[in-house]
Amino acid sequence: MLSLDSILSQSVSDACLELFGFLPEEKQISIQSTRTEFEGERTLVVFPFTRLAKKSPEATGEAIGEFLLANQNIVTGYGVVKGFLNLKISDEYWASALNAAVLDKNCFGLQPLGSKPQVMVEYSSPNTNKPLHLGHLRNIFLGYSVSNILQAAGHDVVKVQIINDRGIHICKSMIAWQLFGGGETPKTTGEKGDKFVGRFYVAFDKQYKIEIAKLLASGHDQKSAEAEAPILLAARELLHKWEAEDVEVRTLWSTMNGWVYEGFEFTYTEMGVDFDKLYYESDTYLIGKDEIKKGIVSGAFTQREDGSVWIDLSDIGLDEKLLLRKDGTAVYITQDIGTAILRFEEYPNLDRQVYTVGNEQEYHFKVLFATLEKLGLPQASRCHHLSYGMVELPEGKMKSREGTVVDADDIMAEMKTTAEKLAREAGKLDNIPEGDQELLFKDVGYGALKYFLLKVDPKKSMMFDPTASIDFIGNTGPYIQFNYVRARSILRNSGVDDVTSLLPIVPIQFDKSERALLMSALSLPGIIEDAARAYDPSLVANLCYDITKSYSSWYQNHPILKEEDEQIRSARLALCALCSSAVKIGMSLLGVSMPERM
């Protein structure tokens, strides 16, 4: 069934051709929800047509309104307010739309998988020198949700991460373990592997600062002290040995990374996220180095007298960028070049790559994409940086090397514990088997966390407030889950096993709140398309909230199980089923599980 806006858009095109002799462009036709103070459900913005119609906005609106009233049977009335044409839609349309949506059930108008081009989404992409933290949570939930939304919109999606498993930051943890570890392992200390290794990254920074202070006291300036601190020199020596494939260094590197991977896997499982393929910087940086050597030959890059390799992007408003150090070791962009090229080779049908990375790296990705273009990669223009704002705490910015990050595992555990505490205090566990309670606490706690991080436009920075995120009032995950559970309870208590048995719903006199609720629920497929184009899960999140808020208000004033008129009762049950299905689908795209009881 065509959407309401599609039907109206076609009718408006017909009206413009018949009345004014022109066909409007698709982008000229803007149809919105009618403001609550006016009659109607949909509003056409008339201003784009007035020049070609050679009429005032009011006269243009009147002419189109009359045409629609005479030629489109779903339009039963209209009103013109300045340059806006408000349209009233028939009860027959709403009944027909409700019938079609209930029959559609979980598909809900979503596009067939693979009906649109293949897209690769990269997210998480951690370093193996520390555990995942609060910033990673926004990254991971954003990338995973965007993947779900793209898939719901019909794209074949490949979910990947690049694991930054080599480089100076890894060597810092390694040298600190050699100096201060005393042979400890995660097994001997009982620590989670990624936290164990992260502890030595913090230990490195502490020792580094001590050594800098000593050098400053002995007469060094700040720059030389930072460059010549013994522990940093030792870490750099480890990096050289690693790139030279020193057996002992490689063995330690592999062992410590293995500890971290075990920790990551546990956290990803708890989060409910996964990947289709993993890439490792230790593999792709070599491809990048080979491509850079080709770039030197082609003239795309310049090798200086000291051996370092640079690209000059000043012609496009960027600076010169180091691609290889003078000693031949790789920098961060080296592996990104190799990874991008490798992915397009491995996935020949890949339409685009989406990199989910914080806005602190915007310049890096401008340089990367420009570098790929200089190398002649035809797909360079099909790389997109999904830039998102930082997530901070009231205490300020987090720093991994100083140990001031908020650990992802700790946040999730806190959210689960808070959910349990609230449930017990409210006495909401009486009818829930003990074996199901643990899952409920996770659904509510993790759902609150995911929703809070995803309801904000990705481009905006945000403050994480654990207490506000798990409130059962307002724009929160638990508020949406609670009202979903209430809707499902009504459906269970109705005695109707299959809501489709209520069909067909006959045209009843839907009031304004019911029409608004229907419009919200029926807008989900269109919002998913918008969210897929913008890589913005907040559009889906806030629609789920809008549906829930409208449903809660409607429910207070519209009896369902106690309604005596069978036709009205059936319509309300169908509307209840429609809204709960829409919200469940929308929240699932955010990675949020919806409990059936709570």
Decide: helix, strand or coil at residue 215.
Answer: helix
Assess whether pLDDT exceeds 50 at residue 77.
yes
CA dist 131 to 126, 210, 336, 375, 485, Å?
A: 8, 24, 22, 35, 35
Comparison of pLDDT for 570 and 330, the residue scoring more: 570
Which candidate, 457, 477, 481, places its Cα nearest to that of 469? 477
- Lowest-pLDDT range, 16-20, 98-102, 321-325, 449-453? 98-102
Decide: helix, strand or coil at residue 520.
Answer: helix
pLDDT at 399: 47
Measured CA to CA, the distance from residue 129 to residue 145 in angstroms comes to 26
**Please, are residues 91 and 131 in contact by the beta-carbon 8 Å criterion?**
no
Whether domain 414-589 has CATH 1.10.730.10: yes
**Please, are residues 73 and 96 in contact by the beta-carbon 8 Å criterion?**
no
For the chain, the farthest-separated pair of C-alpha atoms sits apart, in whole angstroms, at 91
- Cis omega (within 30 of 0) for bond into 230: no
Give the start-end residues of each E strand in 123-182. 155-163
CATH superfamily of 4-89: Arginyl tRNA synthetase N-terminal domain (3.30.1360.70)
Residues 6 or more apart from 265 whose CB is under 8 A from it?
none
Residue with tokens 């057996």: 247
Measured CA to CA, the distance from residue 295 to residue 316 in angstroms comes to 18
**Please, are residues 60 and 533 in contact by the beta-carbon 8 Å criterion?**
no
134-152 and 566-589 helices, crossing angle to 10°: 120
Comparison of pLDDT for 5 and 396, the residue scoring more: 5
Assess whether pLDDT exceeds 90 at residue 139.
yes
Measured CA to CA, the distance from residue 422 to residue 81 in angstroms comes to 49
- The mean pLDDT value of the chain amounts to 93
Map out the domains of the chain as residue ranges.
4-89, 166-275, 414-589
Measured CA to CA, the distance from residue 178 to residue 263 in angstroms comes to 21
Return the number of other C-beta atoms located less than 10 Å from residue 301's C-beta: 22
Percent of the chain exceeding pLDDT 70 equals: 97
